[in-house]
Structure 1
Amino acid sequence: MSDMFGGKTAAITGAASGIGRATTEALISHGARVVMIDRDEAAMARIVEAHGENAIPLKLDLLDPADCDGLLDAILGKVDALDIFHANAGTYIGGDLSDTDNATIDRMLNLNVNVVMKNVRTIMPHMIERKTGDIMVTASVAGHFPVPWEPVYSSSKWAITAFVQTMRRQLREHGIRVGQVSPGPVISALLDDWEPDRLQRAKDAGTLMEPTEVSDAVIYMLSRPRNITIRDMIVLPTAFDL
C-alpha cells in the first residue's frame, strides 16, 4: 500500500475483469478512489467486498447510446471530480475476415473505437475546466503491426493509436496527458474464443502475460511527473514474437 494517488479519483471502463480489474486494484492500493464502469454487477460487487469504499461500482452499458452519453454525469453522481480516466473496455475478433459477420464487426468497432472517442469527448470538458487530468487508453501491440490473423481487431487498435496521438496534441495545452498502453496477449476474457489447444500452447510457451503486468505499466505511466507524458508503452511477454 502507498499514498501515491491519495486524493485522486479514477474511472475505468471494463473495470470488472482483466486489465480493468487489475488497474482498479492497483490504483486503490496506491490510495485512489476508482469508479468501476461495467455491466457485470456481480463482479463489481466482489471487488467492492475485497477493497471497500474506494471501489465504487457504476453499472453502464457503453454500447447503449444513452448510457454512453451520460457517462460524465453518472461518474460525477458518484464522486466530486475526475482526475484519471482509463478507456479500457474492448472486445476481440480473431481469424479470417470471412469467418466473422457484419454485426460482430459493428459491435467491435463500436466498442473498441467509437465508444473510446465518445467517452473521451464526454469527459474532457471536465478536465479542461480543471486544467489537469490523465486520459489512458488500452490499445494493443496489434495497433502497431498489421496482424494478419486478426484484421478487424488490429484495424481497431490502429485507429486508437492514431486517436491517442492526435488527442495528446490537442489536450496537452490544457494540462491533460493522453497515453496508451499496448499489451501483447493477456490472459483475459478477450481470449475466450481461442481454441483450448492454442491457449494451452501459448501458456506453455510463455507467450501470454497476466493483467497485473499491464496494470504495473499503467501505474508507472500515471505516476510520472506532470512535465512527462509516456504516450505509448508496449508491454510484451518476453517469448512473444510479432
Structure 2
Amino acid sequence: MAQFLQGQIAAVTGAASGIGLASTKALLDAGATVVLVDRDADALARLSEELRERALIQKTDLLDAESCKAMVPEILGKVDHIDILLCNAGSYIGGDLVDTTPEAIDRMVNLNVNTVMKNVLAVAPHMIERGTGDIVVTCSIAGHSAIHVEPVYSASKWAVTSFVQTMRRQLMGHGIRVGQVSPGPVISALLSDWEPERLERMKKEGALMEAEEVSDAILFMLSRKRTVTIRDVIVLPSAFDI
C-alpha cells in the first residue's frame, strides 16, 4: 500500500494484540508514526523491538481512572500532535445475563464505553485547535443487531454506535472525521469466552475472520479525501449469519 499517511501520527489503544496490532502494522506500512497504547508492558516492549522505527509505546491502563486521564497528555509528551486516534481496546461477555456478575459488567461497560468517551473527550480539544483529525472506534456488528447470546456486549456496542454518530455530528464542523468499524467475529483472544462448541462450529463454517480484514477497512476509511467521511463500515465473514 502506498504510504498515504506519511508524516501523520496515530495513537491506537489495545495495540498489543488482535485488531489493534493489525491496525498498528497497517498504519506503519502506510507511513504513519504510531503510538501503541496498552496496559501490557511486556508485550509493548517486545513490539517496540520488533517494529522499531516509527513505533512508540505508551503503557496505559484504561480501567485505571488516573492512567486513562493521563493517556493523551503523555502521548503528546512523546509526539507533537495526534492526527489519528483509534479507540480499539475492549472486552467481551457472552452467554446468559444470569451467568455473569456485576463486577464483570462494570469492567466491560467501563472499557467498551466509558473509556472511549474519555479518550475522545481528551483528544477532541487538541484536534479542534488543529482543525483536523480522524477518530475511529472499533465497534461491532453487535452494535447493530441485538445478539441474544451477548446481551451485555451488544448493549455496550449499541452505546458506542450512538456515541460515535453523535460525536461525528458535533465535530464535523471542526474538520474532524469520526467513524466506526463494526466487524463480525474476529479470531482473537476476545473470543476466549465463547462456548467451545460455538467457536469450533463457526471455525468449521468459515464464519470467523482475521484481524487484518478489519485493519484493511480502517485504512480504507482513512484513505478517503477529507471531503468524505466513512461513518461506519460493517465487515463480516462471508459465512457469518446473524
Alignment TM-score > 0.5, same fold? yes
Q: Kindly report structure 1 stretches of 4+ aligned residues shifted beyond 3 Å.
A: none
Structure 1 gap ranges (5+): none
Structure 2 gap ranges (5+): none
Distance 1:3 1:143 in 2: 32
Distance 1:197 1:102 in 2: 26
> Which residue in 1 is equivalent to 2:187?
187
Q: CA RMSD in A?
A: 0.9
> Which residue in 2 is equivalent to 1:120?
120
CA shift for structure 1 position 155: 0.3
Q: Partner letter of residue 48 of structure 1?
A: S
Counterpart secondary structure, 2:56: strand
CA shift for structure 1 position 195: 3.2
Pairwise mapping of residues 93-242 of structure 1 onto structure 2 (< 5 A)?
A: 93-242=93-242
Q: Deviations over 1:192-238 (max 9, x none)?
A: 11233332221111000000000000000011000000000000000
Counterpart secondary structure, 1:241: coil
Q: Partner letter of residue 155 of structure 1?
A: A
Distance 1:195 1:130 in 2: 46
Q: Partner letter of residue 203 of structure 2?
A: K
Distance 1:221 1:3 in 2: 15
CA shift for structure 1 position 45: 2.2
Distance 1:18 1:148 in 2: 24
CA shift for structure 1 position 160: 0.4
CA shift for structure 1 position 50: 2.1
Distance 1:44 1:223 in 2: 27
TM-score, length-scaled by structure 2: 0.98
What percent of counterpart residues are identical?
64
Pairwise mapping of residues 14-93 of structure 1 onto structure 2 (< 5 A)?
A: 14-93=14-93
Q: Partner letter of residue 108 of structure 2?
A: M
Q: Partner letter of residue 61 of structure 1?
A: D
Distance 1:33 1:46 in 2: 17
Q: Deviations over 1:31-75 (max 9, x none)?
A: 101000001122222222222121111001011111111121111
> How many residues are treated as equivalent by the alignment?
242
Distance 1:10 1:143 in 2: 25
Q: Partner letter of residue 212 of structure 1?
A: E
Distance 2:3 2:25 in 1: 14
